[in-house]
Amino acid sequence: MPHSSLYKKLDIEEYIKDFKKFLARDKDIAMIGDTNLHFKFIKELSSLEFKPPKNIPNLNNQLNRLKKQAILSIDEIYSFMQILEYFNYFKTLTLPPLISKWINDIVIPPDISNIITYFTDKGDLNSQKDEELLGIENAIVFNKKAIKESLYNILKSSNLSEFLVDSQIHFINNEETLLVRGGFSNAIKASVVARSSGGFFYILPQSLSDLKAKESALVSQKELIILRYCKEFSQIMSENEKFLSFANKEFDRFDHYQARVFFARTKDYEFVLPQKNNKVILSDFTHPALHDPVPISLSFDKKILLITGVNAGGKTMLLKSILSSVFMSKYLLPFRCNIAKTQIGHFDVIDAIIDDPQSVKNDISTFAGRMVEFSKLFDKKNAIIGIDEIELGTDSDEAASLFRVLLEELAKKDVYFVVTTHHKRLASLLAPNRETGLIAAMFDEEKRVPTYTFLEGSIGKSYAFETALRYGIPKNVVSKVIKLHGEDKERLNELIENQAMLEVKMRQKLEDLEIEKQELDKKEKKLLELEEKLRFDFDSQKTNLEIIYKDALQKAQEAMKQAESKEGRRLLNDANRVLQSTKQEKIKPKESLKIGDRVKYRSHKGTIISLSSDYATIDVDGLKIKVDLTNLKKISDEGNSAKTKKEPKVITTVEKGSASISIKLIGMFGDEAIDKLDRFISDALVHNFSEVQVIHGGGAGILAKLVSEFLKNHPKIKNFYRMPGNLGITIVEL
């Protein structure tokens, strides 16, 4: 739960007080439950026009008493009825879906609804529901009128006129009295009710005693009737205690929502839902404590944000603004910003180390106090911590080294920091760290005033001498200080700033180059994938065309047998010669290859282990593959000679030309067909085919049976089946 001390550290005490004025009853600002769901309800409620609930006291004590069958007062009973009356009012509105379901699910029991009808808008018992009560109230009104008339008659009495201070009727302790001077007893018999600051007396004439006694009796009768109703209502409410407890809890939840909605409307604020990350991106954000502020826009997506620059330039307020935005977003409290460009992450822990922790009572120095605060952070996770003037209380050079290590180690433990500093040493040490972001408070050198604006990715100067002049230190004194400080020291500070900034720029350029390299790698990968796909499509189409051609040629041969023709046979022979010439035509490799060369075959990389004039056997991760030389491309050895080679696997496959998705076994002997099929299946597995065709023909079915036996016992075959239509083709799934 948020602690009030954090409100003070972040300067949001008045903001929280203003917000709490919109609550119907005082409570902690934190809401229990799913933040995303709360946000949806708030956004729906923001679209509605409705009246806010009246102030209602906390009723937890009353609920505990109802559990014990206690009798509540009429005011306590009415407080419960106010909650239920408000829910009834809300049900009369046209509600959006989420709120409609929620409110309409609060079903008030009939006997509780009946109690509501016994109360007026002012919280009194409705006398129209009870004739006896109505009669008593009328009698009380009539009696009061009689008392008032009697007092006016006494005021007109000549005997009392010289003792009257004024001619008014004064109500003292709910009694109608007259204000008189001393000696009044000579003119009228009366009892003194009180004395005024001027020494006069408020008196009640004895002649009114009968009327007052009657009034007292009537009031007592009324109280008895009210007590009877309190007992009756309390009994019913005790029986429905669980429902009342539920309604009370739901009212608190609604109160959280409505207070935020009306607060945002009044201030023209925006709601920012915390995201599931640790980024803080602010656009036109203004801290609620500032009047006429300069809006802040920044991006904090590192582990450490280091704020440097001019004194009194707003560094501390920037730190408080960042932490305040995270705090308000976490608890769905609205604030002013550009909602379209603002994004705030979620942090479990939010804290600030701002005040001087020095304590005489606890015998602790400023620096020791800072160390105590830092020691507590090692147990934190998903935390954002603000630290103002981090080197406070010790030597700045020693502190720079110490706090650099502390910040970097804690950043590894999922702790995020917003740090302000005047010292260049810490900035120069942290700037090269990839997880450090830099922001500088800007200074208008011409006007010699801070601008209360900030530059990201930069280290700022402190402008100590300029600030001293601005606040009234004589110019001749500042000149002596500048001379004592020395130009060399100033140059050293500038060198530190420049070196840190150069490192930041270099780091950014390296990151940009890395991103560019990754993009080029992606493009190269896509081109290679496209090349492989096109080659595969070409090989598939070529194979299919060969199958179609062979089938057509076979049918033509069969037709020629039926009708012998010398011219037809000559044309068939010419076609066969053309087919064979295309198969035998070889493309010579573009570069000479030798055993031991590293080569690329399609998407695989391997090493040549044997070589002939047309083929090479390569080792691809332990798998031997025999391939055509024209399909190999020589690559650098990539340092693989130093690596231990894997033992080759037993599987051997032969690759002639391009891979095929089908094999024709028609006309082969059994042993020859199975050998061809074995190599064909191995080759298909190497090329990651999922399905191939085996063309074995119909005939007597002997070859088909041998193929089936082989496929049944092959460990890499998932499934196989005959193609419908008695075409003599078996489909094999790999």
pLDDT tens-digit readout, 357-397: 554 444 466 777 788 888 889 988 999 999 988 877 666 67
pLDDT of residue 530: 82
What was the pLDDT predicted at 241? 96
Report d(CA 692, CA 672) in Å as an integer. Answer: 19
CA of residue 465 relative to chain centroid, distance: 44
Report the DSSP beta bridge partners of residue 598: 607, 635
Question: What's the rounded Cα separation, in Å, for the pair 243 and 36?
Answer: 26
Is the pLDDT at 565 greater than 60? The verdict is no
Q: At how many degrees (to 10) do helices 670-686 and 702-713 cross?
A: 40
Six token digits for residue 415 = 């702790």
pLDDT over 80 (residue 679): yes
CA gap 413, 407 in Å, rounded: 10
Angle at 723 between CA 718 and CA 726, to 5 degrees: 145
Q: Once rounded to an integer, what is the mean pLDDT over residues 609-622? A: 79
pLDDT of the residue at 653: 40
- Percent of the chain beyond pLDDT 70? 79
Other C-beta atoms closer than 10 Å to the C-beta of 46 total 15
Tokens (6 digits) for 52 = 């806010």
Higher-confidence residue of 430 and 560: namely 430
Alpha carbon 577 to its chain centroid, in Å, reads 73
pLDDT band for position 179 (50/70/90)?
very high
SS3 158: coil
What's the pLDDT score for residue 526? 84
Q: Residue 136, exposed/middle/buried by CB under 10 A (0-12, 13-18, 19+)?
A: buried
d(CA 150, CA 165) in angstroms, rounded, equals 18
Whole-number pLDDT of residue 98: 95
DSSP 461: -
Q: How many CB atoms lie within 10 A of CB 186?
A: 9
CATH number for the domain formed by residue range(s) 662-733: 3.30.1370.110
Using DSSP, state whether 389 is helix, strand or coil.
Answer: coil
Handedness of CA 516, 518, 519, 520 (dihedral sign): positive
- Residue 605: pLDDT above 70? yes
> Which of 225-234, 584-593, 609-618 shows the highest mean pLDDT?
225-234
Instruction: Give the pLDDT band of residue 172 (cuts 50, 70, 90).
Output: confident
Between 650 and 209, the higher pLDDT residue? 209
- Among candidate residues 680, 698, 693, the one with its CA nearest the CA of residue 720: 693
Strand order in the sheet with 296-300: 296-300, 280-285, 343-344
Q: Which of the residue ranges 23-27, 361-365, 638-642, 677-681 would you say has the lowest mean pLDDT? A: 638-642
Q: Are 306 and 421 in contact (CB under 8 A)?
A: yes
Known binding-site residues for ATP equal 309-316
Q: How far is CA 586 from the centre of its chain?
A: 63
* pLDDT band (50, 70, 90) for residue 284: very high
Residues 395-421, mean pLDDT to the nearest whole number: 86
Least confident of 240-249, 563-572, 608-617: 563-572
| Cβ atoms of 544 and 658 closer than 8 Å | no
What would the two tokens of residue 705 be? 């049976």
Residue 537 has pLDDT above 70, yes or no: yes
Report which residue type is found at 365: S
Q: How far apart are CA 386 and CA 622, in angstroms?
A: 58
How confident is the model at residue 160, as a pLDDT? 86
Q: Determine what percent of the chain is predicted with pLDDT higher than 90.
A: 37
Res. 118 pLDDT band, cuts 50 70 90: very high
Alpha-carbon gap, residue 558 to 68, rounded angstroms: 106
Better-predicted residue by pLDDT, 89 or 504: 89
The burial class, CB within 10 Å (0-12 / 13-18 / 19+), for 172 is middle
Instruction: Give the H/E segment covering residue 350.
Output: strand 349-353
Rounded Cα–Cα distance for residues 549 and 614 (Å): 26
Antiparallel, parallel or unpaired: β 436-444 and 615-620: unpaired
Q: Identify the pLDDT of residue 345.
A: 95
The one-letter amino acid at 142: F
Q: Is residue 7's pLDDT more than 90?
A: yes
In the chain, ranges of CATH 3.30.1370.110 domains: 662-733
Amino acid at the residue 275: Q
pLDDT-derived band at 650, boundaries 50, 70, 90: very low
Element (H, E) at 720: strand 719-722
Helix or strand holding residue 166 (H, E): none
Q: What is the mean pLDDT of the chain?
A: 82
CB 550 within 8 A of CB 671: no
Mean pLDDT is lowest, of 209-223, 607-621, 628-642, for 628-642
Residues 6+ apart with CB under 8 A from 101: none
Cα atoms found within 13 Å of the Cα of residue 148, Cβ hemisphere only: 8
Statement: residue 74 has pLDDT above 60: yes
The angle, 0 to 180 degrees and rounded to 10, between the axes of the packed helices 241-267 and 13-20 is 120
Average pLDDT score over residue span 601-606: 75
Whether residue 354 is predicted with pLDDT greater than 60 in this model: the reply is yes
| The predicted structure's pLDDT at residue 251 | 97
Burial grade of 451 (CB within 10 A; 0-12, 13-18, 19 or more): middle
By the 8 A CB rule, do 652 and 615 touch?
no
Indicate where the chain has its CATH 1.10.1420 domain(s): 128-226
In this predicted structure, the answer to whether residue 67 has a pLDDT above a threshold of 70 is: yes
pLDDT, average across residues 620-628: 72
C-alpha dihedral (367, 370, 371, 374), degrees to nearest 10:
-160
Is 70 exceeded by the pLDDT of residue 638? no
At 309-319, the pLDDT tens digits run 766 668 889 99
**Cα distances (Å, whole numbers) of residue 601 to 503, 512, 617, 679:** 44, 34, 11, 18
Once rounded to an integer, what is the mean pLDDT over residues 55-84? Answer: 96
State the architecture of 128-226 in CATH terms. Orthogonal Bundle (1.10)
At which residue do the structure tokens 């006016």 appear? 152
> What per-residue confidence (pLDDT) applies to 391?
76
Query: Which are the contacts of 451, defined by CB distance < 8 A and separation ≥ 6?
Result: 294, 313, 442, 443, 444
Who has greater pLDDT, 617 or 142? 142
Under DSSP, the state recorded for 691 is: E
Q: Residue 231 corresponds to which tokens in the numbers above?
A: 């007992």
Contact 408, 419 (CB under 8 A): no
Instruction: Quickly count: other Cβ atoms within 10 Å of residue 445's Cβ.
Output: 10
pLDDT exceeds 60 at position 299:
yes
Domain 280-485: top CATH class = alpha beta
Q: Is the model's pLDDT at 283 over the cut of 60?
A: yes
In the chain, ranges of CATH 3.40.50.300 domains:
280-485
Residue 270 DSSP one-character state: B
What integer is the mean pLDDT of 585-604?
72
In this predicted structure, the answer to whether residue 571 has a pLDDT above a threshold of 70 is no
pTM of the shown model:
0.62
Least confident of 3-7, 137-141, 274-278, 284-288: 3-7
In this predicted structure, what is the pLDDT of residue 539?
A: 74
Secondary structure letter of residue 362 according to DSSP: T
Task: Check residue 395 and give its pLDDT.
Answer: 67
For tokens 């009415």, the residue is 78
Q: Which residues have C-beta within 8 Å of that of residue 3, sequence separation ≥ 6? A: none
3-state secondary structure of 418: strand
The mean pLDDT of 113-138, rounded to a whole number, is 93
Residue 613's closest CA among 601, 602, 629, 626? 629
Of 171-185, 489-503, 540-554, 687-701, which range is least confident?
489-503
Q: Which residues participate in the annotated binding site?
A: 309-316
**pLDDT score recorded for residue 655:** 43
